[in-house]
Amino acid sequence: MSQHFISVEALKRQFPGSDKAVFEDLWFGVEKGEFVCIIGHSGCGKTTVLNILAGLDTPSDGAIIFDGKAVEGPSLDRAVVFQGHALMPWMSVLDNVLFAVQSRWPAWPKARAIEHARKYIAMVGLAGAEAKRPAQLSGGMKQRVGIARALSTEPKTLLMDEPFSALDALTRGTLQDEVLRLRAATNLTVFMITHDVDEAMLLADRIVLMTNGPGARIAEILVNTLPKDRSRETLHQLPDYYPIRNHLLDFLVRRSKAFTPPAGWDARKPPHVYAAAPKAGLGVGLDGAAAE
Amino acid sequence: MKISFRLRAAIVSVALLVALLGAWHIATSGAGQTQAMDPEYAKLMGLTATQGKSAMPGPLDVGATLWKHLADPFYVKGPNDQGIGVQLGWSILRVALGFGLAVLVAVPLGFLIGLSPLFRQALDPFIQVMRPVSPLAWMPLALYTIKDSAISSIFVIFICSIWPMLTNTAFAVANVRKEWLNVARTLEVGTFRKIFRVILPAAAPTILTGMRISISIAWLVIVAAEMLVGGTGIGYFVWNEWNNLSIANVINAILFIGVIGMLLDQLLGFLTRLVTYPE
């Protein structure tokens, strides 16, 4: 039944010693080339969903189907950008990326692997910093290396766990632009966790809204109707900006706390909602409810 | 004019040294009681009895002996008369062998304990019971089984060096940051590559700290071990000079033991800095 590129099905995670699941009965899909953000309060299990998708954690129930195969452990096809950059401090920038490249292509001669790693370091704007150690880099630069490392393995999808939450607002902005640019260049499928409403609106095609844990569910999936060529500078001037923002904030501030499924709500097909009038060409093939 | 902090500290150090040597000199230079005695008998009794000279050598006596040792450290004139350099060389060799063997055992074993919670649990009682045992308590057992006093002292060094390295390695390996391991997992890194490229570099500073503690303990223990087994080594030298009632040589030996101990510690400190990574 699953035609999605990534298909999350009946996912549940309950930690040992706890009598309530962090989340249960999660269903949603991500299409190829799509950018999906998941948003929700701390403790709703967003990171756990991402970890299961990365293969670093196992669900108590349900499964994730990725590109036609069930996720059973980590894979180079699913690259992760970690919240705390997770660079190896004893390796230079080049070696950090090279470590990933050589993991992907162990048979490559070293010169070829270095050339490949340099290409991705340059892609995130760090050409010239190859010999530096992570400790010599600013927080934003470290996260750029983290992104270069993830992209260098040419994965099928990029999983990002609040990658910019530890950065100051200015750096976060530049890195968001960078991600927009990289994504346009590579057309990667991206799944990202955030708690920043503006970040989700800037980057995501669809935004998955999770209720508060324990027992978190997917309340609805918001389709981002902002034009594709949006940019950070002009985001807040777009006509749909405030309706979408208000919808998201309203959910986070009020509705996520005491979510009671409305009549006709089906966990298997969380409703797709539009904060502003849907536009042609958006959300096509996404709306599971509409398709049936 | 401002004097740098280091220079001021050095001045205080030198002042303390001068004061200490001065006090030592004064304390040992006074003449004690003497008795009139038969000249033949006086020859046997030595300077303490005849001229009231203190039996404790003063700094000048010790300095003179020190000069003698430094001028010719490596002579060998029979089993009981060898240069201090030769004796120290034997001790350093034994420490190096015992310590080296301990590294070969403790680091891989520590990795195993650190990586496997089962082994950690299973080996814990053995480590807890064996670690507090004075390494010298192993000496009779070693002498009986190995039947060679030189190898026995190496074994004692081995036994005392093992524990700090073992516990530090196990702790460091078990506490490698989860996110680095997760990076390795998402990159599908194989076990050996993970051990050598991720876990070992991550744990290296703590492992080296364990080695630094180990070598300090080994250097403490070798003196006592050589006093027991005899033959060669700085510990034997100390005991031999005590039997010769040459306090000046004993004080010299203490100085040399201290300096070599410091050098060993600094060597390991230097190696630790080489593998330490700033975060």
Give the closest-approach CA distance of B6 to chain A in angstroms: 29
Q: What is the pLDDT of residue B187?
A: 95
Q: Which residues in A lie closer than 8 A to residue B197 (C-beta atoms)?
A: 99
The confidence band for B197, taking pLDDT boundaries of 50, 70 and 90, is very high
Residues pairing with A36 in the sheet: A191, A206
pLDDT (0 to 100) of residue A223: 92
Percentage of chain B with pLDDT > 90?
77
Measure the CA–CA gap between B150 and B152, rounded to whole angstroms.
5
All residues of chain B having their beta carbon less than 8 Å from the beta carbon of residue A86 are 177, 179-180, 182-183
C-beta atoms of A99 and B187 within 8 A = yes
What is the pLDDT at residue A286?
46
The reported pLDDT for the residue numbered B173 is: 96
How far A275 CA lies from chain B's nearest CA (Å)?
36
Distance CA B186, CA A88 (A): 14
Cβ density class B39-61: b for 16+ within 10 Å, e for less: eeebeeeeeebbeebbeebbbeb
Pairs of residues, one from chain A and one from chain B, whose beta carbons lie less than 8 Å apart: 60
Q: Is the peptide bond before A214 cis (omega within 30 degrees of 0)?
A: yes
pLDDT for the residue numbered A262: 81
Give contacts of A104 with chain B, Cβ < 8 Å.
Answer: 187
pLDDT at B42 over 80: no
Place of tokens 């040792």: B69
What is the rounded CA–CA span in Å between residue A219 and residue B109?
A: 51
Confidence band, pLDDT 50/70/90 cuts, at residue A76: very high
Q: What is the pLDDT of residue B1?
A: 61
Label the pairing between strands A23-30 and A6-13: antiparallel
Of A183, A161, A148, nearest to A82 by C-alpha is A161
pLDDT confidence of residue A187: 86
- The verdict on A108 touching B (C-beta cutoff 8 Å) is no
Contact check, Cβ <8 Å, A90/B186: no
Q: How far apart are CA B138 and CA B155, in angstroms?
A: 9
pTM: 0.86
Query: For residue A279, which amino acid is it?
Result: K
CB contact, 8 Å: A78 with chain B? yes
- Per-residue model confidence (pLDDT) at position A279: 61
Q: What is the mean pLDDT of chain A?
A: 88
pLDDT(A285) > 60? no
Q: In chain A, where does DSSP find H-type helix?
A: 46-54, 93-104, 110-123, 139-152, 169-186, 197-203, 241-250, 288-291
Residues 117-176 of A with CB under 8 A from B: 133-135, 153
Tell me the Cα Rg of chain B. 25
**CB of B133 closer than 8 Å to CB of B142:** no
In this structure, what is the dihedral angle of CA atoms A195, A200, A204, A206, given to the nearest 10 degrees? Answer: 70
Give percent above pLDDT 70 in chain B: 96
- Tell me how far apart the alpha carbons of residues A99 and A105 are, in angstroms, rounded to a whole number: 10
- Answer yes or no: do A76 and B201 touch at CB < 8 A: no
* pLDDT given at position B80: 79
The answer on pLDDT for A65 being more than 70 is: yes
* Residues in A touching B198 (Cβ below 8 Å): 88
Cβ of B182 within 8 Å of Cβ of A79? The answer is no
The complex scores an ipTM of 0.88
Residue A281, pLDDT score: 52
Query: CA A280, CA B6: separation in Å to the nearest integer?
Result: 75
Chain B residue whose CA is closest to A76: B187
